[in-house]
């Protein structure tokens, strides 16, 4: 959706136009669904949480002032709704917005390209399932950020704005999450290689 069209829809939504809101939902529902799908545990009802996101958007859109940051605002509502649900079910969600993970938090780690991912394996359903499983197994603070960056394609600045973390912390956590995923995915290829041998 072009920004001008989206801005017009938001303006109309703020005036109470329900048709415009339905169009805004249609244009963005897949993005919200994909984000939540990668965050929530299998036992939670994805569609209910997505619906809660849109209810909150509907209730809050009249207060929105900066149309240019709509996607960031929408991501923040989705992430906060996810956290609310986790707390409701008694799961602790602990992400310090002030404390770095450790002393070298602002160090950016370069992860070498190991060339372990042949194109035919990436398309394989088993491979996709395995990667998704490993992303879901990441610690909360890393999973959220890696999904926003590598799945939702948010910029580092947008992620920092959504999470309230510093830019250095965002970069560091993305690097750590990628490092962990590379390690986990390398194990998969070792298993596949052992099975073939």
| pLDDT tens digits along 112-123 | 444 444 445 455
pLDDT at 171: 92
In the predicted model, is pLDDT for residue 26 greater than 80? yes
Q: Give DSSP secondary structure letters for 4-67.
A: HHHHHHHHHHHTT-HHHHHHHHHHHHHHHHHHHHHHS-TTS-HHHHHHHHHHHHHHHGGG---G
Determine the pLDDT at residue 23.
92
Q: What are 98's two structure tokens?
A: 């002030």
pLDDT of the residue at 110: 42
pLDDT in tens, 121-130: 455 567 677 7
What pLDDT was estimated at residue 57? Answer: 92
1, 27 contact by CB (below 8 A): yes
Domains and CATH numbers, the chain: 3-88 (1.10.1740.10), 119-196 (1.10.10.10)
Q: What is the mean pLDDT of residues 87-91?
A: 68
At residue 152 the predicted structure's pLDDT band, cuts being 50, 70 and 90, is confident
Read off the pLDDT band of 102 (50, 70, 90).
Answer: very low
């Amino acid at each position: 959706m072009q920004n001008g069209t989206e801005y017009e829809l938001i303006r109309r939504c703020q005036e109470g136009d329900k048709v415009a809101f339905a169009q805004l939902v249609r244009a963005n529902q897949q993005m919200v669904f994909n984000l939540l799908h990668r965050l929530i545990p299998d036992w939670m009802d994805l569609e209910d949480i997505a619906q809660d996101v849109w209810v909150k958007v509907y209730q809050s859109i009249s207060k929105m002032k900066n149309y240019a940051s709509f996607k960031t605002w929408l991501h923040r509502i989705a992430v906060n709704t996810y956290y609310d649900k986790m707390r409701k079910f008694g799961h602790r969600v602990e992400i310090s917005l002030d404390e770095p993970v450790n002393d070298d938090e602002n160090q950016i780690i370069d992860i070498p390209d190991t060339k372990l991912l042949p194109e035919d394996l990436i398309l394989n359903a088993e491979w996709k399932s395995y990667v998704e499983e490993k992303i879901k197994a990441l610690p909360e603070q890393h999973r959220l950020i890696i999904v926003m960056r590598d799945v939702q394609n948010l910029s580092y600045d947008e992620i920092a704005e959504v999470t309230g973390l510093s830019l250095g912390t965002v970069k560091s956590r993305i690097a750590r999450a990628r490092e962990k995923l590379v390690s986990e995915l390398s194990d998969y290829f070792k298993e596949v290689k052992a099975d073939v041998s």
